[in-house]
């Protein structure tokens, strides 16, 4: 059983090409040969190292961002649509990456701030390695739904049954 968790486009292409059996993506595809199961829904949080924010900082608005310490990762739709509408193209983060490991390393070691899914941020917040700050925006930050997607033809295979008993 091969599972892929890359971008939605590459994951779906690999699924249709038979390179992978299952993908986990933040988008529910509409295709007659695919089955999508919602695994969970998550919030995005504005986070940073505790030293990035003063003790009295309870919330930040866009005009309070320090562009030199803002780190961005394109988290796909619906977050990216919200980010473009809320933050706009005039705000250029100092660094943009497309890899979560690099993103986390920069956030933690370079005292940067950025948006992170709560499921990823929570363990770092609980150990005081990161701090969550409310972001003041005109529209709420959208939640992201995450789906397990697979081709209907594999649903009776033993390997898929074993995987689904672990995940679902």
Give the residue, 121 or 2, on which the prediction is more confident. 121
Q: What are 45-100's pLDDT values in tens digits? A: 999 888 777 666 778 887 777 666 888 888 888 898 998 888 876 666 678 888 88
Rounded alpha-carbon distances, angstroms, from residue 70 to 14, 66, 148: 33, 6, 31
- Range of the structural domain that residue 107 is part of: 44-136
CATH code for position 149: 3.40.190.10
* Same-domain status, 22 and 103: no
* Same-domain status, 92 and 128: yes
* Same-domain status, 72 and 114: yes
Dihedral Cα 122, 29, 98, 47, nearest 10 deg = -30
* Same-domain status, 76 and 102: yes
* Same-domain status, 78 and 120: yes
State the pTM of this model.
0.81
């Amino acid at each position: 059983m091969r599972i892929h968790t890359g971008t939605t486009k590459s994951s779906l292409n690999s699924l249709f090409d038979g390179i992978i059996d299952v993908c986990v993506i933040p988008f529910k595809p509409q295709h007659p040969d695919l089955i999508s199961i919602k695994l969970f829904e998550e919030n995005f949080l504005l986070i940073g190292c505790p030293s990035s924010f003063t003790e009295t900082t309870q919330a930040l608005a866009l005009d309070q961002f320090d562009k030199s310490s803002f780190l961005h990762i394109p988290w796909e739709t619906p977050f990216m649509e919200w980010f473009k509408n809320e933050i706009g193209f005039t705000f250029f983060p100092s660094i943009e990456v497309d890899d979560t490991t690099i993103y986390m390393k920069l956030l933690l070691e370079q005292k940067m701030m950025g948006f992170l899914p709560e499921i990823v941020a929570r363990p770092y917040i609980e150990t005081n390695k990161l701090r969550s700050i409310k972001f003041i925006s005109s529209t709420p930050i959208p939640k992201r739904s995450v789906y397990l997607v697979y081709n209907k033809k594999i649903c009776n295979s033993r390997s898929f049954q074993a995987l689904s008993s672990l995940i679902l």
